[in-house]
RNA sequence: GGGCGCAUAGCUCAGCCGGUUAGAGCGUUGCAUUCACAUUGCAAAGGUCUCUGGUUCGAAUCCAGAUGCGCCCACCA
């Protein structure tokens, strides 16, 4: 053995050894294994490249799975990738724009072809990169959220909900991105503070007076169908039930009382535009108000906004309206005002709330189910502090808008009866029974006419399919053996920003379709920040590429460095120093091995893993320390406290074993009465340490193990070599 | 507007179900290399544990408040 460990020389060779062993596939693990452990990889998007978050997540799961595999569990870690709806579509659109092509130029079919080309090209890059980190999931079970079998699961889920009456179609004001031309969810909206003007506008009353409303968006005035005040507001009490006129249009609208109006904001009176504001829409339900759509899907004022603004962009209309109000003397004032403006998270365009026909999933019962599951610890959210925000979100949840006007994704299994049926003379009566749409797995035929059914253009929110991940990947809705063996899973870890987006939705999907929560523990891991506490972001150039670090220091050093700093839910200010510490540690392990091997030379083939008997105080001390390290590692990994465990293993190996015992052993070996026993203990502690360290530092430990086997050690590869027994 | 978290050595962080001289890594300083490893060993310097008040025989640790920083959630026109 060389005096230095060379990761470059070892890593690729070792990974091949693992792949060749087939042990990543739980079906191919040796021995009778009754205990199971399973985890699903959080599927990376087909866009983008590996970042520190992926590294942290997958290293963590890899550690847990490796220990379980060694402990004799039938351990499955299933990998995969996500089609990532809007994110992926935007990435490809952006790419096409470089060649001056818009998706509309290509048409849907051609565009989707381009999407698949992209997926073929980039989809597996991240997964391949994970290998460089030593991650060893069962590649033979890799899934993609648009696989035909997965699509079947998605349709099945949709139809299940629909038949339960939980999916409905309705007009709602939703967040609309005029650039992506699709509705997006609340969770895909980003708020940024922005200076604006708060316009105080006089709405004339019949008696010649005014009611003044405050708004940042005067152009939406043309869609007003009421003015609302708080019922307790003394200033306006006598006006409730009377009428005001929309300026410019002179259209009469009622003055209503609604408890949702904040008396302290602006003038205490608010214009109500039900088609273009979420809370106004809700008010319109409570008060049965008409809804006038004045902004179209591209963010242009419609004809319904009146000749005054029709055809203009909303921003242009705003200026023009303000001017006109000024002229008419109806603009009381326009004060500077900072407000939180909504932007599309994926493309940065300002959101235009819009009344639009969408599909929704009723959340009331699913939320109830999830709240119970979390409260009863069917799934433990860890750290525990995330329970409260999760429950809070569920308590106030609204129905989930599951439709998107995108081209990339699972199309709804909804079929529209189009074109409108042309009645045949002999069947005129039946035609009335033709359905507007049918929800069905396959294209239906109309019983009453010859019209075709055409599949809905809408696709499902990407999270609708991700929500099924823990069981759709195992073959659901078919009753597969994988499903019965590996569902529910034990562990999942994810970034906190997708707690609501993904984790919670997996929980209720699991409850609904499988009757059990999909994982026993959901671990919300820390965010890795830059050294000065900034967010790592590719666009800001603050990101660190984990692969570059692997190149520079070796995979084990990177795994060490990340895990060593991952001590809890606290954000990590990432320091490369920890990786250097890891590299040094690898070298320490390497050289300790060299020493122990040299001490034992010819005798390696004689060793078994029976407990040696301590003869000196130092012997006793190191054997106890090993026992403690073993116990701490086991219980620590079972609690997913990876950083803590690694700290204690580091201290044990470096200080207890190398600094103290190895030094002491040099003296003991000089005594012929102690020499042999001492060497035995050295070997015993070393080999058991390698086992304990293997989940964290798989390459170097396996490489060393390989050397020991070459030197005569009777053992299989470390990856399945049995975990040290606690005596 | 609600909620959560953090503040400990020059830097990054442990410790925090109260109890002997507050720990680690990196950095700094000194000494030590034929004898596993200089990617090393031994030793040292370095902290009024953010501030104020409270509980207690005793507080970095528990409680309240202040200050600073960060994050999440929310339909504030």
3-state DSSP of A173-200? EEEEECCCCEEECHHHEEEEEEEEEEEE
Quickly give A458 CA vs B36 C1' distance in Å.
Answer: 66
Q: Which nucleotide is nearest to A278 (CA to C1')?
A: B75
| pLDDT for A422 beyond 70 | no
Q: Which nucleotide is nearest to A337 (CA to C1')?
A: B77
Quickly give A389 CA vs B41 C1' distance in Å.
Answer: 50
Q: Which nucleotide is nearest to A661 (CA to C1')?
A: B36
| pLDDT for A539 beyond 70 | no
**Beta bridge pairs of residue A169:** A359
Distance CA A633, CA A232 (A): 63
Contact A576, A561 (CB under 8 A): yes
Distance CA A244, CA A270 (A): 12
At A545, phi and psi to the nearest 5? -85, 115
| Cβ-based neighbours of A408, under 8 Å, separated by 6 or more | A83, A85, A86, A88, A89, A92, A111, A112, A115, A459
For residue A158, the Cα-to-chain-centroid distance in whole angstroms is 21
Is position A225 within any domain? yes
Is position A216 within any domain? yes
Closest residue, by C-alpha, to the C1' of B37: A591
Closest residue, by C-alpha, to the C1' of B69: A533
Quickly give A522 CA vs B59 C1' distance in Å.
Answer: 35
pLDDT of residue A281: 87
Q: Which nucleotide is nearest to A527 (CA to C1')?
A: B71
Closest residue, by C-alpha, to the C1' of B77: A215
Helix axes A52-70, A546-553, angle to 10 degrees: 60
A322 burial level (CB within 10 Å; 0-12, 13-18, 19+): middle
Q: Are residues A582 and A688 in the same domain?
A: yes
Local structure of residue A350 (DSSP, 8 states): B
Q: Are residues A317 and A266 in the same domain?
A: yes
Highest-confidence range of A38-42, A119-123, A238-242, A577-581, by mean pLDDT?
A38-42
Contact A129, A49 (CB under 8 A): yes
**DSSP assignments along A667-723, one per residue:** HHHTSHHHHHHHHHHHHHHHHHHHHHHTTTSHHHHHHHHHHHHHTT-----TTTSPP
Q: Which nucleotide is nearest to A586 (CA to C1')?
A: B39
Distance CA A503, CA A492 (A): 9
Closest residue, by C-alpha, to the C1' of B39: A584
Q: Which nucleotide is nearest to A267 (CA to C1')?
A: B77
Q: Strand A403-404 vs strand A572-573: parallel, antiparallel, or unpaired?
A: unpaired
Q: Are residues A527 and A592 in the same domain?
A: no
Q: E strand or H helix at A341, and its extent?
A: strand A331-344
Peptide linkage before A383 cis (omega within 30 of 0): yes
Quickly give A683 CA vs B22 C1' distance in Å.
Answer: 36
Q: Are residues A115 and A227 in the same domain?
A: no
Q: Which nucleotide is nearest to A396 (CA to C1')?
A: B74
| pLDDT 10s digits, A30-60 | 888 999 999 999 998 887 778 888 899 999 9
What does the buried/exposed string (b/e) look like for A265-296 if buried means 16 or more CB atoms within 10 Å of the residue's CB? ebbbbbbbbbbbbebbbbbbeebebebbbbbb
Is position A79 within any domain? yes
Q: Where residue A576 falls among pLDDT bands split at 50, 70, 90?
A: confident
pLDDT of residue A74: 94
pLDDT of residue A75: 95
Q: Are residues A205 and A62 in the same domain?
A: no
Query: What is the count of structural domains for chain A?
Result: 3
Quickly give A153 CA vs B62 C1' distance in Å.
Answer: 52
Highest-confidence range of A86-90, A305-309, A537-541, A583-587, by mean pLDDT?
A583-587
Q: Where residue A83 falls among pLDDT bands split at 50, 70, 90?
A: very high
Quickly give A14 CA vs B40 C1' distance in Å.
Answer: 28
The three-class DSSP label of residue A114 is helix
Q: Where residue A435 falls among pLDDT bands split at 50, 70, 90?
A: confident
Quickly give A500 CA vs B67 C1' distance in Å.
Answer: 33
Q: What is the pTM of this model?
A: 0.87
Q: Report the pLDDT averaged over residues A123-139.
A: 91
Contact A154, A468 (CB under 8 A): yes
Measured CA to CA in angstroms, residue A130 lies from A103, A124, A618 at distances of 32, 10, 42
Q: Report the pLDDT averaged over residues A445-461.
A: 84
Q: Are residues A596 and A506 in the same domain?
A: no
| pLDDT 10s digits, A683-712 | 999 999 999 999 999 999 999 999 999 888
Distance CA A156, CA A62 (A): 32
Closest residue, by C-alpha, to the C1' of B4: A385
Quickly give A193 CA vs B7 C1' distance in Å.
Answer: 28
Distance CA A86, CA A268 (A): 39
Is position A404 within any domain? no
Residue carrying structure tokens 């959901």:
A522
Q: Are residues A311 and A268 in the same domain?
A: yes
| Cβ-based neighbours of A596, under 8 Å, separated by 6 or more | A662, A679, A682, A683, A686
Is position A326 within any domain? yes
Q: Which nucleotide is nearest to A175 (CA to C1')?
A: B75
Quickly give A692 CA vs B66 C1' distance in Å.
Answer: 47
Distance CA A485, CA A639 (A): 22
Q: Are residues A198 and A110 in the same domain?
A: no
Q: Are residues A637 and A507 in the same domain?
A: no
**DSSP assignments along A362-395, one per residue:** --HHHHHHHHHHHHTTSSEEESGGGHHHHHHHHH
| pLDDT averaged over every residue in chain A | 87
| pLDDT for A175 beyond 70 | yes
Structural domain that includes position A517: 7-139+483-544
Distance CA A337, CA A314 (A): 19
Q: Which nucleotide is nearest to A599 (CA to C1')?
A: B36
Q: Which nucleotide is nearest to A584 (CA to C1')?
A: B39
Quickly give A644 CA vs B12 C1' distance in Å.
Answer: 16
Distance CA A477, CA A51 (A): 33
Quickly give A559 CA vs B72 C1' distance in Å.
Answer: 28
Last residue of a domain, one of A519, A544, A569: A544
Q: Are residues A563 and A540 in the same domain?
A: no
Q: Which nucleotide is nearest to A282 (CA to C1')?
A: B75
Quickly give A589 CA vs B31 C1' distance in Å.
Answer: 26
Quickly give A601 CA vs B34 C1' distance in Å.
Answer: 21
Helix axes A108-122, A85-97, angle to 10 degrees: 100
| pLDDT for A414 beyond 90 | yes
Distance CA A361, CA A366 (A): 9
CATH of the domain at A622: 1.10.730.10
Quickly give A649 CA vs B45 C1' distance in Å.
Answer: 28
pLDDT of residue A163: 94
Q: Which nucleotide is nearest to A533 (CA to C1')?
A: B70
pLDDT of residue A279: 85
Local structure of residue A232 (DSSP, 8 states): T
| pLDDT for A417 beyond 90 | no
pLDDT of residue A20: 94
Measured CA to CA in angstroms, residue A280 lies from A268, A360, A628 at distances of 15, 19, 63
Residue from A440, A403, A12, A449 nearest A185 by CA:
A403
Contact A31, A716 (CB under 8 A): no
Q: Where residue A431 falls among pLDDT bands split at 50, 70, 90?
A: low
Q: Which nucleotide is nearest to A565 (CA to C1')?
A: B13
| pLDDT for A727 beyond 60 | no
Distance CA A700, CA A51 (A): 23
Is position A646 within any domain? yes
Take residue A524 and report the two structure tokens written for it: 């919300």
A708 burial level (CB within 10 Å; 0-12, 13-18, 19+): buried
Strand B contact nucleotides, protein CB < 7 Å: 2-6, 11-15, 24-26, 36-42, 69-77
Distance CA A723, CA A695 (A): 11
pLDDT of residue A89: 85
Contact A270, A220 (CB under 8 A): no
Quickly give A383 CA vs B20 C1' distance in Å.
Answer: 33
CATH of the domain at A226: 3.90.740.10
pLDDT of residue A726: 65
A282-287 contacts: CB < 8 A, separation 24 or more? A283/A226, A283/A228, A283/A256, A283/A258, A284/A225, A284/A226, A286/A258, A287/A226, A287/A256, A287/A258
Q: Are residues A307 and A245 in the same domain?
A: yes
| pLDDT 10s digits, A192-236 | 777 888 888 889 888 888 888 988 888 888 889 889 888 888 888
Q: Where residue A159 falls among pLDDT bands split at 50, 70, 90?
A: very high
Last residue of a domain, one of A354, A382, A403: A354
More confident residue, A635 or A425: A635
| pLDDT 10s digits, A324-333 | 888 888 888 8
Residue positions counted in chain A: 727
Q: Which nucleotide is nearest to A593 (CA to C1')?
A: B36
**DSSP assignments along A517-541, one per residue:** -SEEEEEEPPPEE-TTSPBP-TTTT
| Cβ-based neighbours of A432, under 8 Å, separated by 6 or more | none
Other residues' Cβ atoms within 10 Å of the Cβ of residue A610: 9
Quickly give A539 CA vs B3 C1' distance in Å.
Answer: 30
| pLDDT for A592 beyond 70 | yes
Last residue of a domain, one of A333, A354, A375: A354
Q: Are residues A115 and A205 in the same domain?
A: no
pLDDT of residue A116: 92
Is position A345 within any domain? yes
Q: Where residue A501 falls among pLDDT bands split at 50, 70, 90?
A: confident
Q: Where residue A421 falls among pLDDT bands split at 50, 70, 90?
A: low
Quickly give A526 CA vs B22 C1' distance in Å.
Answer: 26
Q: Where residue A283 falls among pLDDT bands split at 50, 70, 90?
A: confident
Closest residue, by C-alpha, to the C1' of B6: A570
At A340, phi and psi to the nearest 5? -90, 105
Helix (H) and strand (E) counts in chain A:
24, 25
More confident residue, A692 or A341: A692
Quickly give A385 CA vs B56 C1' distance in Å.
Answer: 29
pLDDT of residue A192: 78
Take residue A579 and report the two structure tokens written for it: 């990786």
Share of chain A above pLDDT 70, in %: 97
A242 burial level (CB within 10 Å; 0-12, 13-18, 19+): middle
Is position A65 within any domain? yes
């Amino acid at each position: 053995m060389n005096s230095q460990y060379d990761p470059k020389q070892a890593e690729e060779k070792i990974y091949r050894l693992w792949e060749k062993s087939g042990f990543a596939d739980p079906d191919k693990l040796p021995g009778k294994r009754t205990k199971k452990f399973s985890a699903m990889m959080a599927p990376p998007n087909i866009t983008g490249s590996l970042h520190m978050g992926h590294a942290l997540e997958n290293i963590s799961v890899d550690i847990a799975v490796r220990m379980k595999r060694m402990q004799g569990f039938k351990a499955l870690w299933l990998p995969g990738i996500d089609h990532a709806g809007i994110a992926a579509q935007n990435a490809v659109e952006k790419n096409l724009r470089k060649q001056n092509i818009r998706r509309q130029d290509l048409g849907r079919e051609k565009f989707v072809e381009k999407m698949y080309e992209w997926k073929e090209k980039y989809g597996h890059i991240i997964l391949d990169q994970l290998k460089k980190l030593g991650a060893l999931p069962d590649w033979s079970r890799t899934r993609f959220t648009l696989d035909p079998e997965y699509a079947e699961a998605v349709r099945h889920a949709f139809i299940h909900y629909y038949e339960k009456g939980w999916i409905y179609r309705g007009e709602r004001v939703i967040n609309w991105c005029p650039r992506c031309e699709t509705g997006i969810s609340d969770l895909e909206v980003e708020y940024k503070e922005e200076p604006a003007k708060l316009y105080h506008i006089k709405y004339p009353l019949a008696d010649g007076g005014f009611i003044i409303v405050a708004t940042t968006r005067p152009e939406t005035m043309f869609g007003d169908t009421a003015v609302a005040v708080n019922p307790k507001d003394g200033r306006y009490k006598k006006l409730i039930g009377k009428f005001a006129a929309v300026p410019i249009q002179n259209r009469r609208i009622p003055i209503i009382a609604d408890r949702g109006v904040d008396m302290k904001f602006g003038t205490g009176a608010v214009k109500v535009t039900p088609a273009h504001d979420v809370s106004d829409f809700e008010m319109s339900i409570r008060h049965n108000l008409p809804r006038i759509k004045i902004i179209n899907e591209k963010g242009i004022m419609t004809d319904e906004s009146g000749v005054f603004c029709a055809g203009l962009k909303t921003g242009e209309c705003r200026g023009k309206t303000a001017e006109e109000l000024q002229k008419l003397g109806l603009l009381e004032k326009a004060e500077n005002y900072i407000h939180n403006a909504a932007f599309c998270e994926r493309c940065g365009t300002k959101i235009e709330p819009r009344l639009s026909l969408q599909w929704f999933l009723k959340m009331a019962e699913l939320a109830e189910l999830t709240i119970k599951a979390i409260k009863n610890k069917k799934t433990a959210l860890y750290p525990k502090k995330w329970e409260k925000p999760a429950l809070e979100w569920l308590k106030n949840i609204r129905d989930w808008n599951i439709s998107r006007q995108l081209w990339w994704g699972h199309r709804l299994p909804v079929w529209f009866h189009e074109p409108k049926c042309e009645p045949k003379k002999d069947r005129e009566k039946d035609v009335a029974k033709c359905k507007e749409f049918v929800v069905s797995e396959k294209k239906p035929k109309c019983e009453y006419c010859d019209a075709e059914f055409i599949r809905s253009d809408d696709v499902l929110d990407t999270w609708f399919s991700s929500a099924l991940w823990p069981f759709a990947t195992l073959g659901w809705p078919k009753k597969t053996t994988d499903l019965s063996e590996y569902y529910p899973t034990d562990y999942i870890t994810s970034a906190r920003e997708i707690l609501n987006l993904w984790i919670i939705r997996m929980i209720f999907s699991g409850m609904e379709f499988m009757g059990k929560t999909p994982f026993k523990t959901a671990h919300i891991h820390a965010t890795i920040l830059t050294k000065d506490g900034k967010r790592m972001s590719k666009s800001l150039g603050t990101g660190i590429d984990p692969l570059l670090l692997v190149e520079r220091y070796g995979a084990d050093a990177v795994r060490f460095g990340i895990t060593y700093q991952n001590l809890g839910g606290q954000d990590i200010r990432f320091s490369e120093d920890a990786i250097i510490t890891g590299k040094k540690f690898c070298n320490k392990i390497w050289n300790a091995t060299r020493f122990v091997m040299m001490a034992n030379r010819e005798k390696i083939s004689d060793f078994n893993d029976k407990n040696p008997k301590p003869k000196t105080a130092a012997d006793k001390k190191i054997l106890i320390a090993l026992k403690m390290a073993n116990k701490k590692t086991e219980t620590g990994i079972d609690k997913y406290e990876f950083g803590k465990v690694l700290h204690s293993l580091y201290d044990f190996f470096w200080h207890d074993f190398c600094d103290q015992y190895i030094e002491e052993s040099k003296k003991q070996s000089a005594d012929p009465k102690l020499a042999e026993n001492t060497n035995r203990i050295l070997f015993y502690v070393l080999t058991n340490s390698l086992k304990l360290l293997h989940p964290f530092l798989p390459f170097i430990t396996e490489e060393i193990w390989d050397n020991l086997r070459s030197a005569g050690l009777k053992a299989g590869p470390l990856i399945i070599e049995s975990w040290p027994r606690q005596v």
